């Protein structure tokens, strides 16, 4: 994946408080967040104020559709948007806007820092996202690169009581991936001694075993294993949670010791 690296210094004019004429300038670097993978990401840009008197620096809402001075948007492939925020303080609690009380103010020459933050949980399409923030008559860019990322979780597969007859049950794997990112979900063999992805077993009293199978289709015919391209389940991310059903089956005719049986399956997502 290519990263967009910008090293442009921008000369920005901004409002000066005194009525008497004075020349004030600001140099500021690009706010480059680097690479975002759906976890909270902070970034900074630095600048220097050169001014003889008092000054204030307002930031507008940017160029992203629907942007406000509190929630701005970088725009990426196909018009996709990524929300972010700008702050005047390192704790990232004071929003940097363009209304009274939300602007950065000061007097004389000073070094300044723009504190940016991208909230977690945004699974937008991969690519480079940019925005342009304006103050007075000049602007500076904000940029980030989105990389493919996925999260996965699962519910328990509970068969209930087994009496020697075939029994079926299901559980759900929830996958959330970057929009348009391709992925494969595999299930390992579990913990039982000698288990394979085609012949799994739950372990019970005195290490007794109870065989069961896992399938990726409701017809209980397609084994769900752990080899990408062979027996895993493939999909494409939508940016939202996608439920995948695990179809479990205990074959009939197993006469094993009474008691509770259990196994642990590890689900792995490859993207």
Mean pLDDT for the chain overall: 91
pLDDT band at 139 (very low <50, low <70, confident <90, very high): confident
Mean pLDDT of 233-260: 97
Q: How far apart are CA 267 and CA 218, in angstroms?
A: 19
pLDDT at 6 over 70: no
Per residue, the 3-state secondary structure of the chain, as one string, reads: CCCCCCCCCEEECCCECCCCCCCCEEEECCEEEEEECCCCEEEEEEEEEECCCEEEECCCCCCCCCCCCCCEEEECHHHCEEEEEEECCCCCCCECCCCCCCCEEEECCEEEEEEEEECCCCCCCCEEEEEEEEECCEEEEEEEEECCCEEEEECCCCCCCCCCCCEEEEEEEEEEECCCCEEEEEECCCCCCCCCCCCEEEECHHHCEEEEEEECCCCCCCECCCCCCCCCEEEECCCCEEEEEEEEEECCCCCCCCCCCECCCCEEEEC
pLDDT over 80 at 16, yes or no: no
β-bridge pairing 182-187 and 267-270:
antiparallel
pLDDT value, residue 32: 98
| pTM of the model as a whole | 0.82
Q: pLDDT tens across 165-193, in order?
A: 999 999 999 999 999 999 999 999 999 99
Residue 66, pLDDT > 50, answer yes
Phi and psi torsions of 128, nearest 5°: -100, 130
Mean pLDDT of 111-140: 94
Q: What is the pLDDT of residues 149-165, one digit of tens each?
A: 999 999 999 999 999 99
- C-alpha atoms less than 13 angstroms from C-alpha of 20 in its C-beta half-sphere: 4
- Chain position carrying tokens 């307002």: 58
**Residue 210 pLDDT exceeds 70:** yes
pLDDT above 70: percentage of residues in the chain? 92
Q: What is the structure's pLDDT at 253?
A: 97
- How does residue 57 score in pLDDT terms, banded at 50, 70 and 90? very high
pLDDT at 4: 27
Portion of the chain with pLDDT greater than 90, in percent? 88
Mean pLDDT of 233-257: 97
Average pLDDT over residues 130-158: 94
pLDDT for position 21: 56
Residue 84 structure tokens: 């972010």
Cα–Cα distance measured from residue 31 to residue 143, given in angstroms and rounded to the nearest whole number = 6
71-100 pLDDT, tens per residue? 999 999 999 999 999 999 999 999 999 998
Q: Which domains does the chain have, with CATH numbers?
A: 10-146 (2.60.40), 150-270 (2.60.40.1090)
Cβ-contact 59, 133 below 8 angstroms: yes
């Amino acid at each position: 994946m290519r990263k967009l690296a910008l090293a442009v210094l921008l000369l920005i004019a901004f409002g000066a408080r005194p009525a008497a004429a004075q020349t004030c300038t600001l140099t500021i670097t690009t706010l480059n967040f680097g690479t975002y993978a759906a976890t909270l990401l902070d970034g900074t840009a630095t600048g220097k104020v050169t001014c003889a008197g008092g000054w204030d620096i307002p930031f507008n809402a940017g160029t992203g559709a629907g942007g406000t001075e509190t929630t701005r948007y970088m725009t990426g492939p196909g018009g996709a948007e990524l929300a972010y925020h700008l702050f005047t303080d390192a704790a990232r609690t004071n929003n940097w806007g363009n209304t009274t009380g939300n602007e950065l103010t000061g007097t004389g020459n000073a070094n300044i820092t723009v504190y940016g933050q991208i909230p977690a949980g945004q699974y937008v399409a991969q690519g480079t996202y940019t925005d342009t923030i304006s103050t007075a008559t000049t602007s500076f860019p904000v940029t980030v690169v989105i990389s493919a990322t996925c999260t996965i979780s699962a519910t328990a597969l509970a068969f209930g009581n087994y009496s020697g007859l075939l029994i079926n049950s299901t559980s759900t794997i929830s996958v959330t991936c970057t929009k348009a990112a391709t992925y494969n979900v595999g299930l390992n063999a579990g913990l039982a001694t000698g288990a394979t992805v085609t012949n799994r077993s739950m372990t019970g009293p005195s290490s007794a075993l109870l065989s069961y199978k896992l399938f990726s289709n409701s017809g209980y015919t397609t084994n769900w294993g752990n080899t990408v391209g062979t027996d895993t389940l493939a999909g494409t991310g939508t940016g939202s949670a996608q439920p995948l059903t695990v179809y479990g089956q205990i074959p009939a005719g197993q006469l094993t010791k009474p008691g509770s049986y259990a196994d642990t399956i590890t689900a792995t997502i490859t993207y």
